[in-house]
Homo-oligomer: A and B are copies of this chain.
């Protein structure tokens, strides 16, 4: 007899009424076979889920289902399949939330380091962390390393690859990794603090595994992967092999079919992200305030023994908005500022200003 996990779908304009549609979606996510066929097999009764509730929410309905966790707890791909498989093919159905069972929790595992682990490694416990990126793709190795150096000198905690940087001829992966690690270590030693360089890992599963091997050999402190490019199950497989914290990049994802709190909060966290990058509300991606709040809640809400994940708001963050962003997301946040810093003619000074404003705002927020 399987345990049951819970999913919530937001349903708009259901064909044939919400009650019948809820039952149809339940069948889709359990047996995907006409009910009259299912009833011929008494052994299937134990796996029959149920509609827990249907609640109106504006013009939509929130439908909560209980689904058997035996398929979902097999592996990360089956979890997605069981939680939001063929239901995704129905128009007007958005995956809003999932409450996992212990079996699923154990299978997925969540972040290996989480907020506390990352803080311990960086040695900063009392303020949000600061982050920027070297970019754009197309720059030479020297140009990218120069940006990395200036950001480090400016006092930033974390410098990451842009997500378009892979193994381009002008700045090959291994050389970029070595050079940026050298620069960040040099500045860190001089300033007596920690500076992270976070390389981007992309490609096919075997290429990503080889990149992670290189990263271990070179002693990089963390990595970045994009779960919605690689697929969440491959992301999960690789987080299990990486011996360092993992940043999730949101490329190729959307909140159209999976709610913001889930797609950029709970799912990357369950699948092993220690920090989840997402488009900040008010930035150039036009995410709403409520959606930002959902993400912030989902990265830190208690889920069994699953560690908390850093929220990493990004995408058009300006220096003026630092205090607001910290007030909104709290201290367990990594502020990722790219363009606003790179715009400056004195990158190191602009970075220093950003770092100082985060430190001051953190004092105000506490």
A residues lining the B interface (CB < 8 Å) = 15, 24, 30-34, 36-38, 41, 43-44, 47, 70-71, 74-78, 80-82, 84-86, 88-91, 135-140, 143, 162-164, 166-168, 202-207, 226, 228-237, 250-254, 256-257, 279, 284-286, 315, 338-339, 342-343
29 contacts between A and B (CB under 8 A): A30-B136, A31-B138, A33-B338, A36-B343, A38-B136, A43-B140, A44-B136, A47-B138, A70-B168, A71-B164, A75-B166, A75-B202, A78-B202, A80-B251, A80-B252, A81-B163, A81-B229, A81-B252, A82-B164, A85-B252, A89-B251, A203-B233, A204-B237, A205-B206, A206-B237, A228-B231, A229-B231, A256-B256, A256-B257
Report the separation of the CA atoms of residues A174 and B223 in the bound assembly, to the nearest whole angstrom.
36
Q: Which interface residue of A137, A236, A285 has the most chain B CB atoms within 10 A?
A: A137
Is B229 touching A230 in the complex (CB atoms < 8 A)? no
**CB <8 Å contact, B203 and A75:** yes
- Total copies of this chain within the assembly: 2
Contact status A43-B279, CB under 8 Å? no
Chain B residues with CB under 8 A of A235: 231
What separation, in Å, do the CA atoms of A254 and B143 have in the docked complex? 40
Distance, CA A202 to CA B233, complexed state (A): 10
Q: Which residues of B contact A38 (CB under 8 A)?
A: 136
The 7 closest A-B pairs by CB, nearest first: A231-B231, A31-B136, A205-B205, A204-B237, A256-B256, A85-B251, A33-B136
Is B41 a contact of A139 with CB atoms below 8 Å? yes
Q: Does A343 lie within 8 Å of B37, measured CB to CB?
A: yes
Query: Once bound together, how far apart are the Cα atoms of A13 and B106, in whole Å?
Result: 43
Q: Do B136 and A76 have beta carbons less than 8 Å apart?
A: no
**A81-B164, A81-B251, A204-B233 given. 12 additional CB < 8 A pairs?**
A32-B135, A41-B143, A71-B168, A77-B203, A88-B254, A203-B233, A205-B205, A230-B233, A231-B234, A254-B256, A254-B257, A256-B256
**What separation, in Å, do the CA atoms of A43 and B137 have in the docked complex?**
11
Which among B32, B84, B163, B228 is the interface contact of A164 at CB below 8 angstroms? B32
Chain B hits for A135, CB < 8 A? 31-33
A44 touches B166 (CB 8 A): no
Q: Which residues of B contact A88 (CB under 8 A)?
A: 228, 251-254
Instruction: Report the nearest B residue to A143, measured CB to CB.
Output: B41
Minimum distance in angstroms from A52 CB to a CB of chain B: 20
Chain B residues within 8 Å of A284, by CB: 24
CB proximity of A193 to chain B, nearest CB, Å: 27
**A253 vs B228: C-alpha distance in the bound complex, in angstroms?**
12
Bound Cα distance from A37 to B82, whole angstroms:
45
- In the bound complex, residues from chain B placing their C-beta under 8 Å from that of A168 are 70-71, 74
A48 closest partner in B (C-beta): B138
- The residue of chain B having its C-beta at the shortest distance from the C-beta of A229 within the complex is B77
Q: Kindly name the residue among A86, A235, A338 whose own CB sees the greatest number of chain B CB atoms within 10 A.
A: A86
Q: Which residues of B contact A71 (CB under 8 A)?
A: 137, 164, 166, 168
Given A81-B252, A139-B43, A232-B231 contact (CB < 8 Å): yes
* Most chain B beta-carbon contacts within 10 A, residue among A90, A226, A229: A229
> Please, how many angstroms separate the alpha-carbon atoms of A193 and B31 in the complex?
31
Enumerate chain B residues within 8 angstroms of A162, measured Cβ to Cβ: 32
Q: With A and B bound together, what is the CA distance between A138 and B32 in angstroms?
A: 12
Q: How far is the CB of A98 from chain B (nearest CB, A)?
A: 13
Q: Tell me the complex Cα distance, A203–B237, Å.
A: 10
